[in-house]
Amino acid sequence: MSNRVHLKDDHLEYRLIRQRLVVSAAIILVMIVTLLIRLYVLQVVDYEHFATLSDSNRVRIKALPPARGLIFDRNGVVMAKNLPAYRLEIIREQVDDIEDTLTRLKKYVDYSDQELKRYRQSSKRRRRFESIPLRLNLNDDEVARLAVNLHKFKGVEINARLARNYPFGGLGVHALGFVNRINLEELSQVDEINYAGTSHIGKLGIEKFYENELHGTVGVQQVEVNAKGRTLRVLDEKPPIPGNNLHLTIDSKLQMVAEKAFGDYTGSVVAIDPDNGEILAMVSMPTFNPNLFVHGISVKNYASLRDSSRRPLFNRALSGQYPPGSTVKPFYGLAGLETRTVNKKQKLFCGGYYILPDEERKFRDWKKEGHGSVDLQDSITQSCDVYFYDLAYRMGIDKISAFMVQFGFGEKTGIDSPGEKSGLFPSREWKRATQGMPWFPGETLNTGIGQGTLLVTPLQLANATAALAQKGTRYRPHLVRTIESADAEEQREIGSPPVEQYKLVKNSNWQYILESMKNAVHGIRGTAYRMSLGLQYSVAGKTGTAQVFGIAQDEEYDEETVAEKLRDHALFVSFAPADDPRIAVAVIVENGSHGSTVAAPIARQVMDAYLLGQS
Amino acid sequence: MNQVLAYENISYTKRVLDVLRIDPVLLLLLGLLSVFGVMVLYSASGSDIDLMMRQITRLAMALLLLVTVANIPLRILKKISVWLYLAGILLLLAVMFYGEVGKGAQRWLDLGVIRFQPSEILKLAVPMMVASYLADRVLPVGWKALMISVVLVMIPVFLIARQPDLGTAILVGSAGFFVLFLAGVRWKIILILSFLFSLMAPLLWKFVLLDYQRARILTLMNPESDPLGSGYHIIQSKIAIGSGGVYGKGWLNGTQSQLDFIPERSTDFIFSVFGEEFGFFGSILLIFLYLAIIYRGLYIAAHATENFGRLLAGALSLTFFVYLFVNIGMVAGMLPVVGVPLPLISYGGTSMVTLMMGFGLIMSIRSAKRYLG
């Protein structure tokens, strides 16, 4: 300092520094004001905007899926319930590298390409911070293995969710249906908000038809989350309303008996309460395990179900269409009497075939040597084809179809289940409309023995039989009896008023047919005589055999040489007790050859179980 | 009686403060700010008592250092300036070669007992060095002294920016240049230098700034362009401050802060927590408290008896303002995100210790005046 002191003017320098300090203070003031203006804009001017952003930041809406309604049989036995099942779920927002996570996860838990594809699909249309399942139904081993390694996987969770469970497996699966993951198409058909938390939807049977009842109403939870999406506390909650429970008309025990009675055969049984149309059992064989579908069926399992020649996925009871064969004869008989085409005493000689006037062609009776001289009752009891060729010919197709429609042939029954087929009862108009061809008399004859273009579903046949048991009063067959809220406080009965009330011209006509059908079972010459042995109640029934393929004029059908697939279908319709019917049963056994030997015993087991309590 | 007692008490306190060479005004303001700071930190840390206690301990330590520094005579401080500066440069070089890497930057030096950032020393050493150099020169600063001073400032700034620690580099650089400014660098030269700097800006952008530093500046322009990446901090911070409104959501009630939406909420982004919980009124109060501290520093500078004290006290006060302005400007989305803490409130030991020692220097300067005049 000392050597420069003569150049320094301390007072001048002091003034300079002070001046600069004042300038600095002024600049600082200006900048502070800038800062305050900025804060004023943020906190006062734009307050609303940021307050909204802040709220939406921390509050997240979570959908709470409702518990699906339970399904009970008519005696209160649970047929479909919900069990907790562990799922592997991923929250995409919390995963840094999804591909890496997926690869590493594979070490601990296996998932198929199909599951991965599903995950990616659902991942695309997810909401923010929604967890998307990768694997459903983890077993205990997988849960344990994952749980200890979960810390290595950010955004991966194991969650317990309720999953559908069918405690009886395949029992009544075609009636019950099952649930499966919702696909995009289904999602577009439902209320997306109500299905916000739902992963499964009914795919078949009751589960599908009553989807709206079973699903329930989604709940909403307003939760406060942190920046990582973790729920910190629940601000507001509207709990979900569980779906309604369904009480079926089905009797699970009866269903079990019917399925067991079928053995390895393919076919269908439908048992109806003729008093009200309640379906007591509805069997389509073979069955399959619906639980497989709940957790995402594997491609392999699905392919084996889909490609099986026995077509287990096909609901034969509603969608299977078969020629009814001789099972329609009692209806024709009643038609003949009611229209006075035939009378009770009139006899006809059956020589084993029938020839139309002016034609050469022979229409064969199933019994080559013929039934001899028969009246209507004999013809039903012994199932004489020739008599019915004649009856049909004389009555004409127009009258026949007009009569049969009243018993529900050729139209859907309106059952509360999806996928029902209408069958076909041919008529002149139908043929002109579909084939542009006139009706030929020969077709009337084929129709007269339940063959030709005539097709019925097992359900239709059972319902017609029930209507016959009720002298023509027909109900809409149905599977659900009562719909009940989850807390059982509200109940709705599914009433079923008659859809058709055929007025008998003469009660004795019906009595006559009833006797014929009783004779077919109990009479020594009855086609179903064998099943009557040891019966503790009376049964009215009729066997049937339906040709799967036509045989040429002079050929003979030889059961032994025909491949199983081409063998005739065996049918049987019946109701019991004959004088106070409580159950009507229709049985169709595909390729069962004879109604009397294969189909009738199944019907008997069902009726025994229902009427006597045990088979 | 009571009045007499009270008077005696005050005079007694005053005497103690005088003996300790403490400026009561500054001490009161710093004390208020620290109490404020601890409260906000408690909220920002999610009511973490342990963390708060650590901060209080550091505060106590820093106050002790403040008193210590305040008691070093000014002439000794002036003499050790050059050695402190040289030591700082050497430590910076040591960090370059032996330093520990934390959060992607090489800033820390582990001396076994303590781990510290040598760049903190330079926050004080650079203004001390430049002030002591210029105090002996004729003012206003001539060309030669200017050039030497610029080199003295730029060497550590360059080393710190290389670490990379842009925030500290800015603070160290501004501390040095404030000395120059106060030493009366002519306005013409300031204009020419600013012009040259703005010409060089594109070159700085291209060659000096690192990718992430460039990204931060770009993000500032348009934070919404990358809401989940680098823009996230700014967006969330603005939401926090803005949603505080006029009166704030209340202490411990800031949803943005308490729910973890604000990153670094107890350190660099602590003002977001404050703004959210105390609102615009709270912000005004806090900023005025800071302003009072800065103006007190400037006042002491203006009343110092010789140039070293004037330049140093002024530069330190202005640097304190830079802290404040850069930090709040950053969390309010006006300035790019650089690592500058909110002085005396942000959690963290080193910056607090440096700041308190800086105020120790200022107090020493004030006392020097008293003893000399």
Instruction: Please indicate, yes or no, whether residues A31 and A150 belong to a single structural domain of this protein.
Output: no
pLDDT at B170 over 80: yes
SS3 assignment for chain B = CHHHHHHHHHHHHHHHHHHCCCCHHHHHHHHHHHHHHHHHHHHHCCCCHHHHHHHHHHHHHHHHHHHHHHCCCHHHHHHHHHHHHHHHHHHHHHHHHHCEEECCEEEEEECCCCEECHHHHHHHHHHHHHHHHHHCCCCCCCHHHHHHHHHHHHHHHHHHHCCCCHHHHHHHHHHHHHHHHHCCCCHHHHHHHHHHHHHHHHHHHHHHCCHHHHHHHHHHHCHHHCCCCCHHHHHHHHHHHHHCCCCCCCCCCCHHHHCCCCCCCCCCCHHHHHHHHHHHHHHHHHHHHHHHHHHHHHHHHHCCCCHHHHHHHHHHHHHHHHHHHHHHHHHCCCCCCCCCCCCCCCCCHHHHHHHHHHHHHHHHHHHHHHHHC
Residue A304 lies in a domain: no
Mean pLDDT calculated for residue range B120-131: 94
Instruction: Please indicate, yes or no, whether residues A257 and A244 belong to a single structural domain of this protein.
Output: no
**B223 interface with A at CB cutoff 8 Å:** no
Considering chain A, what percentage of its residues have pLDDT values greater than 90? 43
Q: Where are the domains of chain B?
A: 33-71+223-373, 75-209
Predicted confidence band at B230 (pLDDT cuts at 50, 70, 90)? low
Give the closest residue to A547 by CA, choosing from A570, A530, A564.
A570
Residue A297 lies in a domain: no
Mutate to test the interface with B, among A54, A60, A228, A231 (most CBs of B within 10 A): A54
Q: Nearest CA of chain B to the CA of A95: how many Å?
A: 13
Instruction: Please indicate, yes or no, whether residues A244 and A256 belong to a single structural domain of this protein.
Output: no
Looking at every residue in chain B, the average pLDDT score rounds to 85
Mutate to test the interface with B, among A8, A11, A23, A24 (most CBs of B within 10 A): A24
Instruction: Please indicate, yes or no, whether residues A10 and A86 belong to a single structural domain of this protein.
Output: no
Residue A52 lies in a domain: no
Mean pLDDT calculated for residue range A599-615: 86
Least confident among A231-235, A392-396, B176-180? A231-235
Would you call B182 and A24 a contact, using CB atoms and an 8 Å cutoff? yes
Considering chain A, what percentage of its residues have pLDDT values greater than 70? 94
**Which helix (H) or strand (E) is A569 found in, with range?**
strand A569-576
Instruction: Please indicate, yes or no, whether residues A440 and A571 belong to a single structural domain of this protein.
Output: yes
Q: Which of residues B108 and B213 earns the better pLDDT score?
A: B213
Instruction: Please indicate, yes or no, whether residues A106 and A241 belong to a single structural domain of this protein.
Output: yes
Would you call B275 and A43 a contact, using CB atoms and an 8 Å cutoff? yes
A 10 A CB-CB count for A594 gives: 20
pLDDT of residue B229: 56
pLDDT of residue B198: 84
Q: What are B37-93's pLDDT values in tens digits?
A: 999 999 998 888 888 999 999 999 999 999 999 999 998 999 999 999 999 999 888
Q: Which two tokens stand for residue A249?
A: 């008309």
Predicted confidence band at B130 (pLDDT cuts at 50, 70, 90)? very high
Residue A296 lies in a domain: no
Residue A126 lies in a domain: yes
pLDDT at A552 over 80: no
Q: Which of residues A272 and A303 earns the better pLDDT score?
A: A272
pLDDT at A504 over 90: no
Q: Which of residues A116 and A40 earns the better pLDDT score?
A: A40
Cβ pair A171, A256 in contact under 8 A? yes
What number of C-beta contacts closer than 8 Å exist between A and B? Answer: 144
Find the CB nearest B184 among A16, A24, A50. A16
Would you call A38 and B329 a contact, using CB atoms and an 8 Å cutoff? yes
Instruction: Please indicate, yes or no, whether residues A80 and A132 belong to a single structural domain of this protein.
Output: yes
Q: Which two tokens stand for residue A501?
A: 């009330």
pLDDT of residue B294: 96
A419: left (phi over 0), alpha (psi -120 to 50) or beta: left
Instruction: Please indicate, yes or no, whether residues A236 and A256 belong to a single structural domain of this protein.
Output: no
pLDDT of residue A129: 67
Q: Can you tell me the ipTM of this complex?
A: 0.90
Instruction: Please indicate, yes or no, whether residues A335 and A366 belong to a single structural domain of this protein.
Output: yes
Q: Which of residues A391 and B19 earns the better pLDDT score?
A: A391
Looking at every residue in chain A, the average pLDDT score rounds to 87
HSE-CB at B347 with a 13 A cutoff on CA atoms is: 23
Q: Nearest CA of chain B to the CA of A40: how many Å?
A: 7
B250: left (phi over 0), alpha (psi -120 to 50) or beta: left
Domain count, chain A: 3
Mean pLDDT calculated for residue range A218-236: 77
Predicted confidence band at A47 (pLDDT cuts at 50, 70, 90)? very high
Tell me the chain A residues in contact with residue B287 when contact means C-beta distances shorter than 8 Å: 32, 35-36
Considering chain B, what percentage of its residues have pLDDT values greater than 90? 47
pLDDT of residue A585: 96
pLDDT at A8 over 80: no
The domain containing residue A549 runs over which residues? 252-291+312-612
A 10 A CB-CB count for A504 gives: 14
pLDDT at B371 over 80: no
Mean pLDDT highest for which of A427-441, A520-534, B267-281?
B267-281
Mean pLDDT calculated for residue range A201-207: 92
Least confident among A449-453, A568-572, B255-259? B255-259
Q: Nearest CA of chain B to the CA of A42: how many Å?
A: 5
Predicted confidence band at A284 (pLDDT cuts at 50, 70, 90)? very high
Q: What are A158-202's pLDDT values in tens digits?
A: 888 888 999 999 999 999 999 988 887 887 888 877 888 888 899
**A43 interface with B at CB cutoff 8 Å:** yes
Q: What are A423-460's pLDDT values in tens digits?
A: 999 989 998 998 888 888 888 888 988 888 899 999 99
Q: Nearest CA of chain A to the CA of B215: how many Å?
A: 21
Instruction: Please indicate, yes or no, whether residues A196 and A74 belong to a single structural domain of this protein.
Output: yes
Considering chain B, what percentage of its residues have pLDDT values greater than 70? 88
- For Cα atoms A249, A250, A251, give the angle at the middle one, nearest 5 degrees: 120
Return the active site residues of A.
Answer: 326
**A15 interface with B at CB cutoff 8 Å:** no
pLDDT of residue A228: 65
Instruction: Please indicate, yes or no, whether residues A233 and A261 belong to a single structural domain of this protein.
Output: no
CATH number for the domain that contains residue A130: 3.90.1310.10
Mean pLDDT calculated for residue range A412-431: 91
pLDDT of residue A554: 47
Predicted confidence band at A615 (pLDDT cuts at 50, 70, 90)? very low
pLDDT of residue A553: 44
Predicted confidence band at B96 (pLDDT cuts at 50, 70, 90)? confident
Predicted confidence band at A559 (pLDDT cuts at 50, 70, 90)? low
Instruction: Please indicate, yes or no, whether residues A22 and A104 belong to a single structural domain of this protein.
Output: no
**Which helix (H) or strand (E) is A15 found in, with range?**
helix A10-40
